[in-house]
Chain A
Amino acid sequence: MTAYRLSAGGLVDRATSLNFTFDGQSMKGLAGDTLASALLANDQMLVGRSFKYHRPRGIVTAGASEPNALMTIGSGARTDPNTKATVAELYAGLEARSQNSWPSLKYDVGALNGLLSPFLSAGFYYKTFMWPAAFWEKVYEPIIRKAAGLGRAVLERDPEAYEKCWAHCDLLVVGSGPAGLMAALTAGRAGLRVILVDEGFRHGGSLLSETTPIDGEPAAAFVDKALSELATLPNVTLMARTTVFGWYDDNVFGALERVQKHLAVPSSKLPAERVWRIAAKRALLATGAEERPLVFGGNDRPGVMMAGALSTYANRYGVAAGKLVALFTNGSAGYRTAADLAAHGIDIAAIIDSRADSTEVAPFGTRVIRGGSIVDTKGRSRLSGITVERSGFEERIDCDAMGMSGGFSPVIHLACQRGAKPVWSETLKAFVAPDVGAGLRLAGSAAGLYALAACLKDGADKARTIASDLGLLTSAAHLPAVGEETTASFTALWYVPGARSKAFVDFQNDVHAKDLGLALREGFGHVEHAKRYTTNGMATDQGKLSNVNAVGILAGMQGVSPAELGTTTFRPFYTPVPFGALAGTSRDEHAAPKRVSPLHGWAARNKAVFIESGLWYRSSWFPRAGEKTWRESVDREVLNVRENVGLCDVSTLGKIEVFGPDAAEFLNRLYCNPFLKLPVGKARYGLMLREDGMVYDDGTTSRLSDEHFLVTTTTALAGGVMSHMEYCAQVLWPELKVRFCSVSDQWAQMAIAGPKSRLVVQALVEDDVSNAAFPFLAAKAVTLKGGLKGRLFRISFSGELAYELAVPAGYGEAVADKVMDVGRMHGICAYGLEALNVLRIEKGHVTHAELDGRVTPDDAGFGRMLSSQKADFIGKRLSTRFGLTAADRMQMVGLKPVEKDKDIRAGAHLLREGAKPSTLNDQGYVSSACYSPVLGQFIALGFLKSGRERYGEKVVVWDRLRGEETLAEICNPVFVDPANTKLNS
């Protein structure tokens, strides 16, 4: 046993033991542990295999930058791959599994890749798997996928709930370490609305492993006091377990809150995770700094960790990563860890300091090798010793863990996510954030300050600046007294020369120093090229540990400063965010709202089969007992409407009331046909064009009074037409006195169609609906028997004698029931969208299947509707352009198969008889097709070159998708009642 739980110390609850499993093995941890600290306490240093070479890997960090300790956590459908053990909070019953190892963590077959490593160098994907192309899918990819890859996503449906939420504040503080906590206190006391966010499950950041006393007390006690004060401030919101992952336009931040990922049994009332959109007037990044690894031979051996992580495990979690620990440092941080470990009684094998002239003092009795470097490490799946080189002499030193400290990089990701380029600081030997404006500032270590007192002061100062920005005066903050600190410093060291084995830069993607050299030699020296060529920084950790070292190495090889080389681009997300969380509640029935017709209940009672139509659920057909296919139901409904009467829900059509002295003029400019002289009490069919001359939408418009119209639109474009009308009224013709309002939801509307419809309507309404009193295209307010007010329109989509009756939506179902009631003696039936479609195809009426945006009024047979009298209307000018008036345009025609039992389907192409089936010989297409029970055969509407001149001619209907060719006769698109006798009867 090497790693172990210390007998005392740390912020773990030693009274609360938690059982968990790792790769099926039972282990015990303590409340307050991360999975990683608990694993270390169980001496489990080996946690995974690397991506490419399948080398054994151990825990490296104690935080979000962890490249190795990625676990699959949970079981069944509640399984999360790629979870960082270093941030995952331990809970009782947690099940963790290592990744990338097959058949087991200890004996990994893929480690063979290590032997093949000369062939797996940088760019190997691009080189090796290029040829032959067919091999990629069948050979290379399956092998790579099996042996490599990170954790696997489960295939089961994700049972977790997620949600999204908005938050607003004056100041968002990201990170609750010394700077963040002081900033929140200062701003909170000043009365700002503050949100303090920390990715850890416990607020305090680095203070939780800090050994320097604050105000004479342990730092953790200072954190507790600060948090209890913040909790009493109603203007402060504390959010732990929350990672701010992105900075977006207008100072909106994205954050992921892990609401109950730390619970074995989640509450069904709460989401697993919640995405926050935080609109912050100001933000302060107090995200700290990241310690950098050192790039030396064998630096990936399990047991080689960040020095700061060793301190954190000892100070915060009471865990020693080893019994005899070596430290390799280029600055003061290594000495600080040595002191921390020594204080816990952990033996220090040696401190290897890359600087020959350093002056830091090591704990009493510790051996310090100044000017030395590590060139190799020993051990199989666990570090057993290091080879140290100094002045040409080599020495083997035994140790079972070691810490490396290569200096610090401020964590500036968020500040640089909106295009700002990080700036190289020669003083800090790190990339720092440039000035990104008043909306976002950085404080503490994120701003390059590494002393505790300086961080506390900076947090308070920046908060005061922000408060005064927002017009609030604050008194000077009381700054807590901090015990004596050593000054932090380091000397840049990007690569430790003399490596005897691979010196890794990116642990997660297995990129080593030589790969970067190869990239440079092969012409990929630009930092963005090198990244992609070597995949350095492209793993899920996005190079949090590796990027700066890679830049340093590449810069060094080219003899330039990192400032010249620059760094790669920071983009959201800072750490991975599950797709489920981004979708929030927008899935399944919540993916889009469902619009419900006021006649929905009536249709359901009549056993409608519903179909999604945009957001609506419309009744599609109404099956009756004994009907085996939808066609049987639809045929019956169609015939019944043609012979008797039917009732169809048309409430989903858009309805817009238009008011004002210029209402008629407005509509006259909106439609291509004239509206000025439409009489009161009359409806007119109207065509709206787009400005390019193509048909946009159609519908009937009724004049209810001189300055009051009712426009109807198709269901599909109800929203679009409303916006279009608003654009015309507000932007194009603001001088017109016109107002409008959608009344689509106010009215339930039903089509009552068929030769017996008048009998039914007359039984319902007080008003005279005879042909004389209420002729075709009449549109009037009516009173239903019993007093209910409605509107009645003599319009017909089916081609039959028909009425549309509108009543206030709440009465819709009752009225529809009554229509069925009084219609029973006339043989009424409910009919749905499918029958409606057949009826209108038989009548040659168009829908958006025909008016698909490529069709002019003339194409669809409405050429005479284009008003030449009007000075202007939308689409007038471009309607006259050459291409839109050419004689060989495709015109709407009817089609009937020559052999009566053949069918035609929409989407098929039209070819001249005898022409080779090819789109080169395309003459047109089928837009709508159906079986016509009236004609007893399939019929279709289509568009055909010069079609109207070609009635009687035969064309081939070529359905390339189904490999069918059907001979059809071209005919007039009005199959039923071309003389309109039924309509006008």
Chain B
Amino acid sequence: MASLIPCPHCGVRPKEEFAIRGDASLVRPDPESSDETWNDYVHIRANPRGRYREHWQHVAGCRRWLVVERDTFTHEVFSVTDGSVRAWEIGR
């Protein structure tokens, strides 16, 4: 967690305005991918201590899905970017 999240669209906001979804590094597999790939995508989650990229939605603000890169131990937030930018970056 963090107390304040700098939304790239709205500025610094209290955490209450956001909802967390989880791991932002997951890429939705192709429908033809194996059972194992899909199982990993849907069910298997790492729970790392340290740097982690997560999807957070700014529910009470711009309603954009954001990628919040933060430290799960120190709670430091390193960066917050728009989720669609990230989606384009990973090549879709």
Q: Which chain A residue lies CB-closest to B35?
A: A881
Given B12, B31, B42, B64, which contacts A730 in the complex, CB threshold below 8 Å? Answer: B64
Question: A248 contacts B3, CB within 8 Å?
Answer: yes
Given B2, B43, B86, which contacts A692 in the complex, CB threshold below 8 Å? Answer: B43
For residue A750, CB closer than 8 A to chain B, the reply is no
Q: Which chain B residue lies CB-closest to A691?
A: B42
For chain B residues 23-64, which have a beta carbon within 8 Å of chain A?
28-29, 31, 33, 35, 38, 41-43, 55, 57, 59, 63-64
How many residue pairs link A and B with beta carbons under 8 A? The number is: 68
Taken residue by residue from 244 to 280, chain A's Cβ proximity to chain B (1 for < 8 Å, 0 otherwise) reads as 0000111010000000000000000000000001010
For residue A727, CB closer than 8 A to chain B, the reply is yes
Q: Which chain A residue lies CB-closest to B92?
A: A735
**CA separation between A872 and B21, bound complex, in Å?**
22
**CA separation between A876 and B29, bound complex, in Å?**
12
**CA separation between A734 and B42, bound complex, in Å?**
20
Question: B38 contacts A249, CB within 8 Å?
Answer: no
Question: A249 contacts B1, CB within 8 Å?
Answer: yes
Question: A723 contacts B57, CB within 8 Å?
Answer: yes
CB distance from A982 to the nearest CB of B (A): 40
CB distance from B59 to the nearest CB of A (A): 7
**CA separation between A727 and B86, bound complex, in Å?**
13
Question: B88 contacts A734, CB within 8 Å?
Answer: yes
Question: A723 contacts B19, CB within 8 Å?
Answer: yes
Q: Which chain B residue lies CB-closest to A880?
A: B35
**CA separation between A734 and B41, bound complex, in Å?**
19
**CA separation between A963 and B64, bound complex, in Å?**
50
For residue A625, CB closer than 8 A to chain B, the reply is no
Taken residue by residue from 1 to 14, chain B's Cβ proximity to chain A (1 for < 8 Å, 0 otherwise) reads as 11110000000101
For residue B74, CB closer than 8 A to chain A, the reply is yes
Question: B3 contacts A878, CB within 8 Å?
Answer: no
Q: Which chain A residue lies CB-closest to B34?
A: A877
Question: A730 contacts B84, CB within 8 Å?
Answer: yes
Q: Which chain B residue lies CB-closest to A690?
A: B42
Question: B57 contacts A727, CB within 8 Å?
Answer: yes
**CA separation between A879 and B65, bound complex, in Å?**
26
Q: Which residues of B contact A665 (CB under 8 A)?
A: none
Question: A249 contacts B57, CB within 8 Å?
Answer: no
For residue A419, CB closer than 8 A to chain B, the reply is yes
Q: Which chain A residue lies CB-closest to B1?
A: A249
The number of chain B residues touching the other chain, given as a range, is 20 to 34
For residue A476, CB closer than 8 A to chain B, the reply is no
**CA separation between A696 and B14, bound complex, in Å?**
29
Q: Which chain B residue lies CB-closest to A875?
A: B42
Q: Known interface pairs A249-B4, A250-B3, A692-B43. Does A726 touch B31 (Cβ–Cβ under 8 Å)?
A: no
For residue A732, CB closer than 8 A to chain B, the reply is yes
Q: Which residues of B contact A878 (CB under 8 A)?
A: 38, 42
Question: A727 contacts B31, CB within 8 Å?
Answer: no
**CA separation between A151 and B92, bound complex, in Å?**
63
Q: Which residues of A contact B35 (CB under 8 A)?
A: 881
For residue A115, CB closer than 8 A to chain B, the reply is no
CB distance from A868 to the nearest CB of B (A): 12
Q: Which residues of B contact A726 (CB under 8 A)?
A: 57, 63-65
Question: A252 contacts B87, CB within 8 Å?
Answer: no
Q: Which residues of A contact B82 (CB under 8 A)?
A: 730
Q: Which residues of B contact A277 (CB under 8 A)?
A: 14
CB distance from B82 to the nearest CB of A (A): 8
For residue A15, CB closer than 8 A to chain B, the reply is no
Q: Which residues of B contact A419 (CB under 8 A)?
A: 74
For residue A139, CB closer than 8 A to chain B, the reply is no
Q: Known interface pairs A250-B3, A723-B19, A872-B31. Does A731 touch B65 (Cβ–Cβ under 8 Å)?
A: yes
Question: B4 contacts A252, CB within 8 Å?
Answer: yes
Residue of A691, A727, A877, A881 with highest tally of chain B CB at under 10 A: A877
For residue A871, CB closer than 8 A to chain B, the reply is yes
Taken residue by residue from 716 to 737, chain A's Cβ proximity to chain B (1 for < 8 Å, 0 otherwise) reads as 0000001100110011111100
CB distance from A691 to the nearest CB of B (A): 5
Question: A730 contacts B21, CB within 8 Å?
Answer: no
**CA separation between A279 and B16, bound complex, in Å?**
14
Q: Which residues of A contact B55 (CB under 8 A)?
A: 727, 731
Q: Which chain A residue lies CB-closest to B28?
A: A732
Q: Which residues of B contact A876 (CB under 8 A)?
A: 31
CB distance from A723 to the nearest CB of B (A): 6
Question: B87 contacts A734, CB within 8 Å?
Answer: yes
Q: Which residues of A contact B4 (CB under 8 A)?
A: 249-250, 252, 279
Question: B1 contacts A877, CB within 8 Å?
Answer: no
Question: A252 contacts B3, CB within 8 Å?
Answer: yes
Question: A727 contacts B63, CB within 8 Å?
Answer: no
Q: Which chain A residue lies CB-closest to B19?
A: A723
Taken residue by residue from 75 to 89, chain B's Cβ proximity to chain A (1 for < 8 Å, 0 otherwise) reads as 101000011101110
Residue of B1, B42, B43 with highest tally of chain A CB at under 10 A: B42
**CA separation between A739 and B31, bound complex, in Å?**
25
CB distance from A166 to the nearest CB of B (A): 8
**Interchain residue pairs with CB less than 8 A apart (30):** A248-B3, A249-B4, A249-B75, A250-B2, A250-B75, A250-B77, A277-B14, A279-B3, A279-B4, A279-B12, A691-B42, A692-B42, A692-B43, A723-B19, A726-B64, A726-B65, A727-B65, A727-B83, A730-B64, A730-B65, A730-B82, A731-B55, A731-B83, A733-B92, A734-B84, A734-B87, A877-B29, A877-B33, A877-B38, A878-B42
10 extra interchain contacts, Cβ-Cβ under 8 A, other than A691-B41, A734-B87, A877-B33? A166-B14, A250-B4, A279-B4, A722-B63, A730-B82, A730-B84, A731-B84, A732-B28, A732-B87, A735-B92
